[in-house]
Amino acid sequence: MNVRKWHKMLCYSNASMIRLLDFSIHLWWLFSFTFLKLTGFLNFQVREYIDDTEDYVNIQLDNQRNELIQLQLILTIASFAIAVDTLIAGMFGMNIPCQLYQIHGIFGYFVGSSSTGCLFLFLLVLGYARWKKLLGS
């Protein structure tokens, strides 16, 4: 009788172990499926966040690049105006006999007027660049 009792207990415990094992397998599959779904969802969100961050950084870099190009354009216009002033001064600085050399005090007026003309040229070309919207406001 004692053996029968032990046999019944073992049979019941084997059946309950099988049920418990079956339940744990189902539970493991459920957790793994949930984990995979959650991981995929988080990876999608992280990937989307990284893409958005890359887009933001590219926009900022484009903005900085545009500002540098505008600064380069302003400096090019200024160097053009200075080059014109240098050309005029170089032409009159040669040792060619001219009646203007005989007039006393003409040098200051000449340099001032040519520099003012080149400044006006700089402002004119800068205004043209703003009118064509090559430069921001």
Question: Helix, strand or coil for residue 1?
Answer: coil
Residue type, 111: V
pLDDT in tens, 98-130: 777 777 877 778 888 888 999 999 999 989 988
pLDDT band at 95 (very low <50, low <70, confident <90, very high): confident
What's the pLDDT at 32?
75
Instruction: Report the C-alpha gap between 127 and 121 in whole angstroms.
Output: 10
- Higher-pLDDT residue of 47 and 69 is 69
pLDDT band at 65 (very low <50, low <70, confident <90, very high): very high
- In terms of average pLDDT, the best of 15-24, 63-72, 87-96 is 63-72
Q: Which residue has the tokens 């958005």?
A: 52
pLDDT above 80 for 33: no
Instruction: Report the C-alpha gap between 64 and 66 in whole angstroms.
Output: 5
| Exposed/middle/buried for residue 118 (C-beta within 10 Å: 0-12, 13-18, 19+) | buried
- Packing angle between helix 2-92 and helix 106-131, nearest 10 degrees? 140
Nearest to 109 by CA among 99, 100, 98: 100
What's the pLDDT at 4?
60
Residues 6+ apart with CB under 8 A from 135: 70, 73, 74, 126, 129
pLDDT above 70 for 45: yes
Domain boundaries, the chain: 2-131
pLDDT band at 79 (very low <50, low <70, confident <90, very high): very high
User: Do the Cβ atoms of 87 and 118 come closer than 8 Å?
Assistant: no
* Mean pLDDT (whole number) for 62-74: 91
